[in-house]
Protein backbone atom coordinates (compact mmCIF):
# COMPACT_ATOMS: atom_id res chain seq x y z
CA UNK A 1 0.00 0.00 0.00
CA UNK A 2 1.52 3.40 -0.93
CA UNK A 3 2.76 5.41 2.01
CA UNK A 4 0.97 8.74 2.27
CA UNK A 5 3.65 10.93 3.81
CA UNK A 6 5.03 13.08 1.01
CA UNK A 7 3.71 16.36 2.44
CA UNK A 8 6.27 19.06 3.17
CA UNK A 9 8.40 18.20 0.16
CA UNK A 10 9.16 21.37 -1.79
CA UNK A 11 9.22 21.82 -5.55
CA UNK A 12 12.96 21.35 -5.98
CA UNK A 13 12.99 18.35 -3.64
CA UNK A 14 10.23 16.71 -5.70
CA UNK A 15 12.81 16.15 -8.42
CA UNK A 16 14.35 13.49 -6.16
CA UNK A 17 11.56 11.11 -7.16
CA UNK A 18 12.51 11.16 -10.84
CA UNK A 19 15.91 9.39 -10.71
CA UNK A 20 14.45 6.99 -8.13
CA UNK A 21 11.69 6.15 -10.58
CA UNK A 22 14.25 5.84 -13.38
CA UNK A 23 16.29 3.30 -11.41
CA UNK A 24 13.16 1.36 -10.53
CA UNK A 25 12.06 1.16 -14.17
CA UNK A 26 15.52 0.03 -15.31
CA UNK A 27 15.78 -2.54 -12.53
CA UNK A 28 12.66 -4.34 -13.73
CA UNK A 29 14.03 -4.95 -17.24
CA UNK A 30 15.28 -8.39 -18.32
CA UNK A 31 18.82 -7.10 -18.82
CA UNK A 32 19.09 -3.91 -16.77
CA UNK A 33 22.05 -1.57 -16.94
CA UNK A 34 21.63 -1.14 -13.19
CA UNK A 35 19.89 -3.33 -10.62
CA UNK A 36 18.36 -1.43 -7.70
CA UNK A 37 15.72 -3.47 -5.89
CA UNK A 38 15.54 -0.89 -3.11
CA UNK A 39 14.40 1.73 -5.63
CA UNK A 40 11.64 -0.62 -6.80
CA UNK A 41 10.52 -1.18 -3.22
CA UNK A 42 10.42 2.55 -2.40
CA UNK A 43 8.56 3.54 -5.57
CA UNK A 44 5.92 0.90 -4.82
CA UNK A 45 5.36 2.45 -1.39
CA UNK A 46 5.32 6.13 -2.34
CA UNK A 47 2.04 7.97 -2.73
CA UNK A 48 3.11 10.07 -5.67
CA UNK A 49 1.76 10.18 -9.20
CA UNK A 50 4.55 9.84 -11.78
CA UNK A 51 2.29 8.96 -14.69
CA UNK A 52 3.00 12.29 -16.38
CA UNK A 53 6.73 11.67 -16.23
CA UNK A 54 6.30 8.11 -17.48
CA UNK A 55 4.24 9.32 -20.43
CA UNK A 56 6.28 12.36 -21.44
CA UNK A 57 9.92 11.81 -20.51
CA UNK A 58 12.30 10.77 -23.26
CA UNK A 59 14.00 7.43 -22.68
CA UNK A 60 17.41 9.09 -23.00
CA UNK A 61 16.70 11.19 -19.91
CA UNK A 62 16.01 8.10 -17.82
CA UNK A 63 19.17 6.48 -19.17
CA UNK A 64 21.16 9.56 -18.08
CA UNK A 65 20.07 8.98 -14.48
CA UNK A 66 21.17 5.35 -14.75
CA UNK A 67 24.54 6.24 -16.23
CA UNK A 68 25.04 8.86 -13.53
CA UNK A 69 24.52 6.19 -10.88
CA UNK A 70 26.86 3.77 -12.63
CA UNK A 71 29.60 6.40 -12.91
CA UNK A 72 29.23 7.32 -9.22
CA UNK A 73 29.39 3.64 -8.27
CA UNK A 74 32.56 3.22 -10.34
CA UNK A 75 34.29 6.26 -8.86
CA UNK A 76 33.38 5.30 -5.29
CA UNK A 77 34.56 1.71 -5.73
CA UNK A 78 37.86 2.88 -7.18
CA UNK A 79 38.25 5.41 -4.36
CA UNK A 80 37.61 2.91 -1.56
CA UNK A 81 39.86 0.34 -3.22
CA UNK A 82 42.68 2.86 -2.62
CA UNK A 83 41.34 4.10 0.71
CA UNK A 84 39.25 1.33 2.36
CA UNK A 85 38.53 3.47 5.44
CA UNK A 86 37.49 6.50 3.39
CA UNK A 87 34.69 8.88 4.27
CA UNK A 88 32.04 9.42 1.59
CA UNK A 89 29.54 12.29 1.80
CA UNK A 90 26.43 11.98 -0.38
CA UNK A 91 25.20 15.55 -0.91
CA UNK A 92 21.54 15.94 -1.81
CA UNK A 93 21.01 12.23 -1.21
CA UNK A 94 17.23 12.28 -1.63
CA UNK A 95 16.16 8.65 -1.83
CA UNK A 96 19.48 7.47 -3.21
CA UNK A 97 20.64 3.92 -2.45
CA UNK A 98 24.28 4.08 -3.54
CA UNK A 99 25.62 2.94 -0.17
CA UNK A 100 23.88 -0.42 -0.54
CA UNK A 101 25.65 -1.02 -3.87
CA UNK A 102 29.18 0.02 -2.93
CA UNK A 103 29.72 -0.65 0.80
CA UNK A 104 33.01 -2.43 1.49
CA UNK A 105 32.26 -3.01 5.17
CA UNK A 106 34.74 -0.35 6.30
CA UNK A 107 33.92 3.03 4.78
CA UNK A 108 32.22 5.85 6.70
CA UNK A 109 29.15 7.22 4.92
CA UNK A 110 27.06 10.38 5.36
CA UNK A 111 23.75 11.01 3.58
CA UNK A 112 23.03 14.74 3.55
CA UNK A 113 19.85 16.55 2.53
CA UNK A 114 17.31 19.11 3.72
CA UNK A 115 15.43 18.22 6.92
CA UNK A 116 12.11 17.43 5.20
CA UNK A 117 13.84 15.12 2.73
CA UNK A 118 15.74 13.32 5.51
CA UNK A 119 12.46 12.75 7.35
CA UNK A 120 11.01 11.19 4.21
CA UNK A 121 14.16 9.15 3.70
CA UNK A 122 13.92 7.67 7.19
CA UNK A 123 10.62 6.05 6.24
CA UNK A 124 12.35 3.79 3.73
CA UNK A 125 16.08 3.73 4.50
CA UNK A 126 17.74 3.29 7.87
CA UNK A 127 20.91 4.61 9.45
CA UNK A 128 23.60 2.11 10.39
CA UNK A 129 26.77 2.08 12.45
CA UNK A 130 28.84 3.50 9.60
CA UNK A 131 26.02 5.34 7.84
CA UNK A 132 24.69 8.63 9.21
CA UNK A 133 21.90 10.91 8.00
CA UNK A 134 22.54 14.64 8.25
CA UNK A 135 19.64 17.11 7.94
CA UNK A 136 21.04 20.33 6.52
CA UNK A 137 21.62 22.38 3.42
CA UNK A 138 25.08 21.58 2.11
CA UNK A 139 25.71 25.34 1.99
CA UNK A 140 25.47 25.61 5.79
CA UNK A 141 28.92 24.92 7.17
CA UNK A 142 27.92 23.65 10.63
CA UNK A 143 27.22 20.11 9.39
CA UNK A 144 30.86 19.72 8.33
CA UNK A 145 31.82 19.53 12.01
CA UNK A 146 29.87 16.25 12.22
CA UNK A 147 31.94 14.48 9.58
CA UNK A 148 34.37 11.94 11.02
CA UNK A 149 37.47 11.29 8.94
CA UNK A 150 39.94 8.40 9.27
CA UNK A 151 41.23 8.49 5.72
CA UNK A 152 40.57 10.38 2.49
CA UNK A 153 37.23 12.08 1.77
CA UNK A 154 35.03 11.86 -1.33
CA UNK A 155 31.99 14.07 -1.87
CA UNK A 156 29.33 13.00 -4.36
CA UNK A 157 26.66 15.43 -5.56
CA UNK A 158 24.34 13.88 -8.14
CA UNK A 159 21.63 16.19 -9.45
CA UNK A 160 22.62 19.09 -7.21
CA UNK A 161 25.01 21.79 -8.41
CA UNK A 162 23.01 23.15 -11.35
CA UNK A 163 20.22 24.25 -9.00
CA UNK A 164 22.54 26.91 -7.54
CA UNK A 165 24.46 29.94 -8.73
CA UNK A 166 28.10 29.10 -9.48
CA UNK A 167 29.31 31.51 -6.78
CA UNK A 168 27.66 29.33 -4.12
CA UNK A 169 29.27 26.17 -5.48
CA UNK A 170 32.63 27.93 -5.64
CA UNK A 171 32.27 28.92 -1.98
CA UNK A 172 31.36 25.37 -1.03
CA UNK A 173 34.42 23.99 -2.82
CA UNK A 174 36.61 26.50 -1.00
CA UNK A 175 35.14 25.45 2.35
CA UNK A 176 35.59 21.70 1.90
CA UNK A 177 39.09 22.10 0.46
CA UNK A 178 40.07 24.07 3.58
CA UNK A 179 38.48 21.52 5.90
CA UNK A 180 39.53 18.38 4.07
CA UNK A 181 42.69 19.02 2.04
CA UNK A 182 43.08 16.75 -1.00
CA UNK A 183 39.46 15.68 -0.86
CA UNK A 184 37.74 14.64 -4.08
CA UNK A 185 34.31 15.48 -5.45
CA UNK A 186 32.23 14.02 -8.27
CA UNK A 187 29.12 15.73 -9.60
CA UNK A 188 27.08 16.12 -12.76
CA UNK A 189 26.83 19.31 -14.76
CA UNK A 190 24.78 20.58 -17.68
CA UNK A 191 25.69 23.05 -20.40
CA UNK A 192 23.61 26.16 -20.96
CA UNK A 193 21.77 24.24 -23.69
CA UNK A 194 21.43 21.29 -21.33
CA UNK A 195 19.76 23.49 -18.71
CA UNK A 196 17.25 24.75 -21.26
CA UNK A 197 16.50 21.21 -22.44
CA UNK A 198 16.16 19.90 -18.89
CA UNK A 199 13.80 22.68 -17.84
CA UNK A 200 11.60 22.17 -20.89
CA UNK A 201 11.82 18.44 -21.55
CA UNK A 202 12.29 17.06 -18.04
CA UNK A 203 10.90 19.45 -15.41
CA UNK A 204 7.84 20.63 -17.33
CA UNK A 205 7.19 17.21 -18.86
CA UNK A 206 7.15 15.74 -15.35
CA UNK A 207 4.40 18.09 -14.20
CA UNK A 208 6.71 20.26 -12.08
CA UNK A 209 6.80 24.05 -12.37
CA UNK A 210 9.48 26.71 -12.77
CA UNK A 211 10.39 26.57 -9.08
CA UNK A 212 12.12 23.29 -9.95
CA UNK A 213 14.13 24.80 -12.82
CA UNK A 214 17.85 24.27 -13.16
CA UNK A 215 19.83 27.52 -12.83
CA UNK A 216 23.50 27.07 -13.72
CA UNK A 217 24.62 26.05 -17.17
CA UNK A 218 28.36 25.36 -17.32
CA UNK A 219 29.91 26.83 -20.46
CA UNK A 220 33.22 25.00 -20.16
CA UNK A 221 35.10 22.89 -17.61
CA UNK A 222 37.73 25.64 -17.59
CA UNK A 223 35.17 27.86 -15.84
CA UNK A 224 35.46 25.71 -12.72
CA UNK A 225 39.20 25.05 -12.95
CA UNK A 226 39.83 28.81 -13.08
CA UNK A 227 38.14 29.31 -9.72
CA UNK A 228 41.22 28.18 -7.84
CA UNK A 229 44.55 26.57 -8.79
CA UNK A 230 43.88 23.94 -6.11
CA UNK A 231 41.02 22.53 -8.22
CA UNK A 232 42.35 19.72 -10.40
CA UNK A 233 40.42 17.71 -12.98
CA UNK A 234 40.79 13.97 -12.49
CA UNK A 235 38.39 12.90 -15.21
CA UNK A 236 35.40 13.98 -17.26
CA UNK A 237 32.76 11.28 -17.80
CA UNK A 238 30.47 11.23 -20.83
CA UNK A 239 27.10 9.58 -20.28
CA UNK A 240 26.10 7.55 -23.29
CA UNK A 241 29.08 5.46 -24.37
CA UNK A 242 27.40 2.12 -23.83
CA UNK A 243 27.07 -0.68 -26.39
CA UNK A 244 23.83 -1.79 -24.77
CA UNK A 245 21.76 1.19 -25.90
CA UNK A 246 19.37 1.08 -28.84
CA UNK A 247 20.55 2.56 -32.14
CA UNK A 248 18.31 5.58 -31.68
CA UNK A 249 19.58 6.24 -28.15
CA UNK A 250 23.19 5.58 -29.19
CA UNK A 251 22.97 8.22 -31.93
CA UNK A 252 21.15 10.79 -29.81
CA UNK A 253 23.48 10.08 -26.90
CA UNK A 254 26.53 10.57 -29.14
CA UNK A 255 25.24 14.01 -30.09
CA UNK A 256 24.66 14.86 -26.42
CA UNK A 257 28.17 13.73 -25.50
CA UNK A 258 29.70 15.61 -28.44
CA UNK A 259 27.97 18.86 -27.48
CA UNK A 260 28.66 18.37 -23.77
CA UNK A 261 24.99 18.74 -22.90
CA UNK A 262 25.41 16.77 -19.68
CA UNK A 263 28.33 14.92 -18.13
CA UNK A 264 30.13 14.29 -14.85
CA UNK A 265 33.28 15.84 -13.41
CA UNK A 266 35.63 14.20 -10.94
CA UNK A 267 37.84 16.76 -9.23
CA UNK A 268 40.53 16.84 -6.58
CA UNK A 269 40.67 19.87 -4.28
CA UNK A 270 44.36 19.83 -3.44
CA UNK A 271 45.97 21.20 -0.33
CA UNK A 272 48.39 23.41 -2.25
Give pLDDT tens digits for 10-24: 544 556 788 888 898
Strands (E), 117-261: 131-135, 153-157, 183-190, 231-237
Confidence of residue 7 (pLDDT cuts 50, 70, 90): very low
**Contact yes or no for 244/33 (Cβ under 8 A):** yes
Least confident of 19-33, 125-139, 143-157, 169-183: 19-33
Whether this prediction's pTM lies above 0.85 is answered by yes
Of 146, 141, 158, the C-alpha closest to 65 is: 158
pLDDT of residue 212: 64
- On the CB side of 215, how many CA atoms lie within 13 Å of its CA? 13
Confidence of residue 50 (pLDDT cuts 50, 70, 90): low
Question: Is 136 within the bounds of a domain?
Answer: yes
- Number of structural domains (the chain) is 1
pLDDT of residue 164: 94
Confidence of residue 59 (pLDDT cuts 50, 70, 90): confident
What distance in Å separates the CA atoms of residue 32 and residue 23, rounded to the nearest whole number?
A: 9
Question: Is 236 within the bounds of a domain?
Answer: yes
Least confident of 147-156, 192-201, 262-271: 192-201
pLDDT tens readout for residues 197-247: 887 765 555 555 556 688 899 999 999 999 999 999 999 999 987 767 888
Tell me the mean pLDDT in the region 129-135: 97
The percentage of residues in the chain with a pLDDT greater than 70, rounded to a whole number, is: 86
Q: Which of 122 and 1 is assigned the larger pLDDT?
A: 122
**Contact yes or no for 112/143 (Cβ under 8 A):** yes
pLDDT of residue 16: 76
- What is the residue range of 121's domain? 13-269
Question: Is 7 within the bounds of a domain?
Answer: no
What distance in Å separates the CA atoms of residue 134 and residue 146, rounded to the nearest whole number?
A: 9
What distance in Å separates the CA atoms of residue 139 and residue 73, rounded to the nearest whole number?
A: 24
- Which residues are CB-neighbours of 108 under 8 A, at least 6 positions away? 85, 86, 87, 88, 130, 148, 149, 150
Tally of CB atoms within 10 A around 4: 10
**Contact yes or no for 185/174 (Cβ under 8 A):** no
Question: Is 184 within the bounds of a domain?
Answer: yes
pLDDT at 9 over 70: no
Question: Is 8 within the bounds of a domain?
Answer: no
Residue 66 is part of a domain; what is its CATH number?
A: 3.40.50.150
Question: Is 3 within the bounds of a domain?
Answer: no
Question: Is 2 within the bounds of a domain?
Answer: no
pLDDT of residue 14: 58
Amino acid sequence: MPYQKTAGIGDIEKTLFLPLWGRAVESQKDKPLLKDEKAVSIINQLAIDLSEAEENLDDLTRIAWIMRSLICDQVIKEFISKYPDATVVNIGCGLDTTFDRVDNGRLRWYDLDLPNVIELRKLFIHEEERRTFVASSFLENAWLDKVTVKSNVLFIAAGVVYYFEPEKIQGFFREISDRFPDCEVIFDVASELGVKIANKKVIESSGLDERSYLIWGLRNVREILDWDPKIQLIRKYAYYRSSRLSLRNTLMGAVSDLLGIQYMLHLRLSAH
